[in-house]
Amino acid sequence: MVIWFFSINILSFFYEKKFKIMNENIANIKDLLQDYTIETTPKVYKKIEELKSLLPKKTWVYITYLPDEDPRNIIETAKKIKEEGLEPIPHLPARTIENFHNLEKYIGSLSEISGVNKILIIGGSSSQKGNISSSIEVLRTGLTEKFQFTDIGLAGHPEGSPDINNDELDKAIIDKNNFSKNTNANLFLVTQFFFEASSFITWEKHLNKLGNQLEIHAGLPGPANLKTLITFAKSCGIGNSLKFLSKQALNISKIASTNTPDKIINDLSNYKKSNNYSKLSKIHFYPFGGMKRTSSWVNALINNDISINNDGEIKIDSFNF
């Protein structure tokens, strides 16, 4: 009888501890997702017509600037998104801008016409159109200060870049950190998308050796099928992720089903919790499977009851695509 009593108490203790850990993990996941960001294109936005019904107020919405895009479309899209009560963050791909005159015109228009004070400056296309070759060149013009931009995102590459060698990527991180020490703007890194938390963790450990002090927004793909994800991974030249997806595609049952980054989110949340040095602060979503699908899924993760199974996968109560 005594043994039975103590056995019950021990089991009760372990179940309570497991339940407490589960609740802490869930709280950490929701906290990490709370200020999530997302992106769109002028073409997609034109089809959707409005985003305020899909996203929480003041959500940061990045606007992709493709190589053949008319900058006036970016400016107009940013203006409309701002009018919806959201925070537009237009892309500025340095190598797509033909000259410094056009650069000032674009940055000035975003500020004065669109009313934005946040921007993402990236190198952009490997094909350089003019005499601007990198994001650090754009920063050094002083134009973001002239037009009073308060938040400036810069590119991060957890799996490297097909267009830039690793030494140049390292130098870029160091240069960006050095620039951040002499500006009032908040500089941060937004990463290319990846499919395994290990890619991010290995990369951030390397950044720490370089002395990185910039906060990091981890880029993840929104819910989409494998075919769509593989297409985007190929177009971006993301090697490790492409290998991971190709292995997943060997499982025929997974090809047509919707893939969600819930396990990556759980892994990143656990990593952030157990590593005080981590600069991970937000999750940025690439809505490859559609803006509505991605936003509804993320909003449900934040607002609905969720549970985590033994494989680290997150299940959402009362939610279906």
| Residue 315 φ/ψ, nearest 5 degrees | -110, 135
The string of DSSP letters for 173-229 reads: HHHHHHHHTT-SSEEEEEEPP-S-HHHHHHHHHHHHHTT--SEEEEEEE-SB-HHHH
Name every residue whose Cβ is closer than 8 Å to that of residue 34 and which is 6 or more positions away in sequence.
302
CB 294 within 8 A of CB 38: yes
DSSP H or E run through 262: helix 262-274
Residue whose tokens read 């060149």: 137
Say what the pLDDT of residue 229 is: 79
For each of the chain's 321 residues, which pLDDT tens digit applies? 545 555 555 555 555 656 677 789 999 999 999 999 999 999 999 999 899 999 999 999 999 999 999 999 999 999 999 999 999 999 999 999 999 999 999 999 999 999 999 999 999 877 888 899 999 999 999 999 999 999 999 999 999 888 889 999 999 999 999 999 999 999 999 999 999 999 999 999 999 999 999 999 999 999 998 887 777 676 665 656 555 555 555 454 454 467 999 999 999 999 999 999 999 999 999 999 999 999 999 999 999 999 999 999 999 999 988
Say what the pLDDT of residue 127 is: 80
CA 39 to chain centre: 9
Specify the long-range contacts of residues 207-212, CB closer than 8 Å, at least 24 apart.
Answer: 207/173, 207/279, 208/277, 210/170, 210/173, 210/174, 210/177, 211/174, 211/177, 212/173, 212/177, 212/279
Angle between the N-to-C axes of helices 262-274 and 197-209, in degrees from 0 to 180, rounded to the nearest 10: 30
Angle between the N-to-C axes of helices 2-33 and 291-303, in degrees from 0 to 180, rounded to the nearest 10: 140
Calpha distance 161→68 (Å, rounded):
21
Say what the pLDDT of residue 250 is: 46
Supply 170's token pair. 């390292």
Residue whose tokens read 């004065």: 112
Say what the pLDDT of residue 295 is: 98
DSSP 8-state symbol, 258: P
What is the set of domains in the chain, with CATH numbers? 28-316 (3.20.20.220)
Say what the pLDDT of residue 225 is: 86
With the CA atoms of 227, 259, 160 and 60 taken in that order, what torsion angle do they form, in degrees rounded to the nearest 10?
110
DSSP H or E run through 244: helix 239-249
Supply 197's token pair. 């938390």
